[in-house]
Chains A and B, each alone.
Chain A
């Protein structure tokens, strides 16, 4: 027979069942579609929030950090510098926070229907990708405004950075989503954690202002490599710091593997605990 399900006590260590995920691919799209649909329902400004948010942050950061604190921004004017950072940072933190809350927010479904649970945190990529697309257009407009033409390498670097950010954010998100089911501390700690993380990521400052020893540590944050690479290509440059980007990639992949591993080993008990 085509479908045979064997239900057994959960063995502790399980990895992704790719075949099963493939069977449930439609559900992945449906969840992503639902998130996009619902996202700006019953708001006055609708999807323009996706433009308004990074623009406001850029404005405020430029005044305080660019003008008052005079943080250097390399080849780029400070607004473009900080917006490039924000576009990727918002994508990263957006996935992180939505993935972390995905299981609790879909409690009813988790308790009543079976499907591979990782679909919930993974499908949060969809809505964030839409926001990312909108803010990327904004970024292009702003860089043309400042007479910067992104280098050809952008076509390769942006997708690569997107993949690295996604893997890193999902890795942490999967871990926290599972943790959140048991310990609601995550709900309170996460916004705080994300606020702190923005200072441990070179969003508003360049790593060049740091001591070299500290620079090595901060390179372990995958978003460091991502944001620096993005800034290089958006300023029209071609000389990338491949080393930091490689570190970012390796760390993200490791985060993702750890996250999915932890998630799968705890998933059996979600329905009992949510």
Chain B
């Protein structure tokens, strides 16, 4: 099993950790500082690195115990707040800085774009900078020659090819820089926030180019961005980093949910005010009697408690369940539209219940959405990402694996039979 798996994965990151001293971000040291430090703690300099796993005073883990694997063609989004270690991770994987512990294996040519326009030389012309920048990024002269026209076209700088780039407008400069980078051929591509440059139109163009790269060429890409739309559009997997640790790995949707803090069902519910109807959604629970545990193939009960100041008629209540990595709903039901019920909300407390007899979706993460509507007309309230909940793995009757997503998203009651002569 491990051998088989190794053959598939093009990137393997095993327990990578990176330790920094707070001081190492200081602009520079002088020899005097170090001499002073040695005098103060004479033994420290000799014992350095003996126990890399132990933090000394003034040290912190910029990355801690990060592991993941990628197969060919995977596009991994790396998200997390500032200072969570995203860029450090890319730097370690680009070999710019070594890890303190752990190891990573990259099988293929690695190209990394941690910055657009790295090494551009102001005094040189556009043409010269294409060759300079291309070489710095790891392209061979032959490759650059082959792609030269394409690069120039993409950047739209034909007329200024022989002008020193210091006379370029910032837009032209960025376009040229991105164009060179985008034409880098490598099996593995490491990209840091390159889309955050240029005007809106150019961002669209570069995003389009990134999409083309990810879709067409079967390359493995690691992509850091704060732009969640870009992550959603480009990536098929994501990891979420927090304080140097991987707190989540999985589908892009769930990672984004986690990052943007779509609340967990187990968190305290914050009442929702629907001012147009003068009511408050006080509480929503799922399987309260099971303390929120949800199993496939078992009943699922959703309780909604609504506090109203008026009597309301002709409303519909709409529940939606969506799988976090698939657009659209896996399940949706409206009291009126689906079931033809007329619901009356009375002044005071109302308790609405929806009971699904057998929740036949496979284990995994789902989001619950709620709407209060005027049927066939409009929503007074709608939130499709109210919170997420996890459906646990269990074994159905006589079965071992049928609740795992690999065995389908939906479990349908069925029978097998076989006839032998």
11 sample A-B contacts, Cβ–Cβ < 8 Å, listed by A number: A2-B109, A3-B187, A4-B106, A5-B110, A108-B119, A109-B118, A114-B96, A114-B110, A114-B112, A183-B34, A273-B28
Binds A, one of B134-142, B224-232, B238-246, B413-421: B134-142
Nearest-neighbor residue (CB-CB) of A188 within chain B = B30
Contact B99 A5 (CB under 8 A): no
Q: Which residues of B contact A27 (CB under 8 A)?
A: 135-136
How many angstroms between the C-alpha atoms of A9 and B137 in the bound complex?
A: 23
CB distance from A97 to the nearest CB of B (A): 19
CB distance from A257 to the nearest CB of B (A): 23
Cβ of A130 < 8 Å from any Cβ of B?
A: no
Q: Which of B93, B106, B136 has the most CB of A within 10 A?
A: B136
Contact A26 B136 (CB under 8 A): no
Q: Mark A88-126, 1 if CB is under 8 A from B, else 0.
A: 000000000000000000101111111100000000000
Cβ of A56 < 8 Å from any Cβ of B?
A: no
Contact A3 B109 (CB under 8 A): yes
Q: Mark A31-72, 1 if CB is under 8 A from B, else 0.
A: 000100110011000000000000000000000000000000
How many angstroms between the C-alpha atoms of A112 and B194 in the bound complex?
A: 12
Our pick among A9, A42, A185, A271 for the contact of B99 (Cβ within 8 Å) is A9
Q: Mark B106-149, 1 if CB is under 8 A from A, else 0.
A: 11111010110011010110001001100111101100000000
Cβ of A7 < 8 Å from any Cβ of B?
A: yes
Nearest-neighbor residue (CB-CB) of B102 within chain A = A9
Cβ of A30 < 8 Å from any Cβ of B?
A: yes
- Contact-residue bracket for chain B: 35 or more
How many angstroms between the C-alpha atoms of A125 and B112 in the bound complex?
A: 28
Once A and B bind, how many residue pairs between them come within 8 Å at the CB atom?
A: 118
Q: Which residues of A contact B (CB under 8 A)?
A: 1-10, 26-27, 30, 34, 37-38, 41-42, 106, 108-115, 182-185, 268-269, 271-273
Ordered nearest first, which 10 A-B pairs have the shortest CB separation?
A114-B95, A30-B135, A10-B98, A7-B104, A268-B98, A5-B106, A109-B119, A112-B114, A41-B123, A112-B115
How many angstroms between the C-alpha atoms of A272 and B132 in the bound complex?
A: 24
Decide: A272 near B97, CB < 8 A? Known: A4-B106, A8-B103. yes
Q: Mark B87-98, 1 if CB is under 8 A from A, else 0.
A: 000011111111
Decide: A8 near B99, CB < 8 A? Known: A108-B118, A271-B91. yes
How many angstroms between the C-alpha atoms of A202 and B123 in the bound complex?
A: 38
Contact A9 B101 (CB under 8 A): yes
Q: Which residues of A contact B163 (CB under 8 A)?
A: none
Q: Which of A4, A5, A6, A109 has the most CB of B within 10 A?
A: A5
Q: Which residues of A contact B121 (CB under 8 A)?
A: 34, 38
Q: Which residues of B contact A (CB under 8 A)?
A: 16, 20, 24, 28-31, 34, 52, 91-110, 112, 114-115, 118-119, 121, 123-124, 128, 131-132, 135-138, 140-141, 187
Given contacts A9-B101, A109-B136, 5 further A-B pairs with CB under 8 A are: A3-B187, A9-B98, A109-B119, A114-B112, A115-B136
Contact A38 B98 (CB under 8 A): no
How many angstroms between the C-alpha atoms of A7 and B381 in the bound complex?
A: 52
Contact B115 A272 (CB under 8 A): no
CB distance from B244 to the nearest CB of A (A): 15
Contact A271 B52 (CB under 8 A): no
Q: Which residues of A contact B103 (CB under 8 A)?
A: 6-8
Our pick among A1, A10, A112, A182 for the contact of B96 (Cβ within 8 Å) is A112
Our pick among B24, B107, B115, B123 for the contact of A273 (Cβ within 8 Å) is B24
Q: Which residues of B contact A42 (CB under 8 A)?
A: 123
CB distance from A266 to the nearest CB of B (A): 11
Q: Which residues of A contact B140 (CB under 8 A)?
A: 26
Our pick among A1, A8, A37 for the contact of B128 (Cβ within 8 Å) is A37
Q: Which residues of B contact A9 (CB under 8 A)?
A: 52, 98-102
Q: Which residues of B contact A106 (CB under 8 A)?
A: 119
Decide: A185 near B31, CB < 8 A? Known: A41-B123, A42-B123, A271-B96. yes
Nearest-neighbor residue (CB-CB) of B88 within chain A = A272
Contact B118 A112 (CB under 8 A): yes
Decide: A183 near B96, CB < 8 A? Known: A9-B101, A37-B128, A273-B24. no
Decide: A272 near B110, CB < 8 A? Known: A9-B101, A109-B119. no
Q: Which of A2, A4, A9, A273 has the most CB of B within 10 A?
A: A9
How many angstroms between the C-alpha atoms of A42 and B28 in the bound complex?
A: 31
Q: Which residues of B contact A7 (CB under 8 A)?
A: 16, 92-93, 95, 98-99, 103-106
Contact B31 A183 (CB under 8 A): yes
How many angstroms between the C-alpha atoms of A4 and B105 in the bound complex?
A: 7
Decide: A113 near B96, CB < 8 A? Known: A5-B110, A30-B135. yes
